[in-house]
Amino acid sequence: MIVEMVNVTKDMKGHKILNGINFTIETPGVYGVVGRNGSGKSVLFKTIAGLLQPTIGNVKVFGELVGKGSFPKDFGALFDTPGFVPRYSALDNLKLLASIKGVVKEEEIREVIKVVGLEPDDRRPVRKYSLGMKQRLGIAQAIMEHPKLLVLDEPMNGLDESGVQEVRKVINEFKSEGTTVLLASHNREDIELLCDQVYLMEQGELRVFREDV
Ligand SMILES: Nc1ncnc2c1ncn2[C@@H]1O[C@H](COP(=O)(O)OP(=O)(O)OP(=O)(O)O)[C@@H](O)[C@H]1O
């Protein structure tokens, strides 16, 4: 089982954001999650990432419980505002993150920076980067360890046309390597082009919205 959410409820400030969600992913593929602003897509993804703890229920990724300080293994994620050290270059930021996790070589980091259309030898500090460039770097960070599960919350935010094309290519390449991608997006075209199955978040519940596979 790739993802297994059992009866997951999440209350935040007196509101039920997730309401008894039972959700499983057994087959690798690209899974889309759509829903209105504020419907709970990010809360759902952060719960899977172990960044938010369910009020009730539990979440397993690759068979292991997440939450309470346990994070999924073989996992990469991009949330709305990737946090980088503003005075460091792109390469130094990713080297820092890689050294914390201790697995990725500099050559691979350089390669992943190129994959997202940035320049590894650009010594400018990341604070000088545009929103779209930071977003590209966020995607590089999410994919640099070749995760088996990749959670992307609005990855196209702030990207220009070439950025959108590059990220679509990255998602398709990861899919063909057997990585499972969870994608939240408001962009109908991205959802239609990329996803094997689409879910709708509504009133705290998640239901199948469109099924191709
Ligand atoms: N840390 C928090 N504390 C309290 N409420 C929160 C917190 N984070 C999110 N919420 C609330 O949970 C609800 C769902 O938010 P979430 O960000 O998951 O929506 P979303 O579907 O991702 O929206 P969007 O499409 O705008 O990105 C919102 O009402 C939001 O205000």
In DSSP notation, 34-87 reads: E--TTSSHHHHHHHHTTSS--SEEEEEETTEE-BTTB--SSEEEE-SS----TT
Q: Which of 173, 110, 104 is nearest to 145 (CA)?
A: 104
Q: Distance, CA 51 to ligand 1 centroid (Å)? A: 14
Q: Is the CB of 42 under 6 A from ligand 1?
A: yes
pLDDT in tens, 147-173: 999 999 999 988 999 989 999 999 999
Is the per-residue pLDDT at 213 higher than 50?
no
- Are the C-beta atoms of residues 161 and 149 closer than 8 Å to each other? no
Is pLDDT larger for residue 94 or for residue 202?
202
Quote the strand ranges of 137-196, DSSP E: 149-153, 180-184
* Residue boundaries of the structural domains of the chain: 85-146
Report the atom number in ligand 1 closest to the C-alpha of 13. Answer: 4
User: Which of 104-108, 169-173, 183-187 has the weakest average pLDDT?
Assistant: 104-108
Q: How confident is the model at residue 110 (pLDDT cuts 50, 70, 90)?
A: very high
Q: Work out the percent of the chain whose per-residue pLDDT is above 90.
A: 73
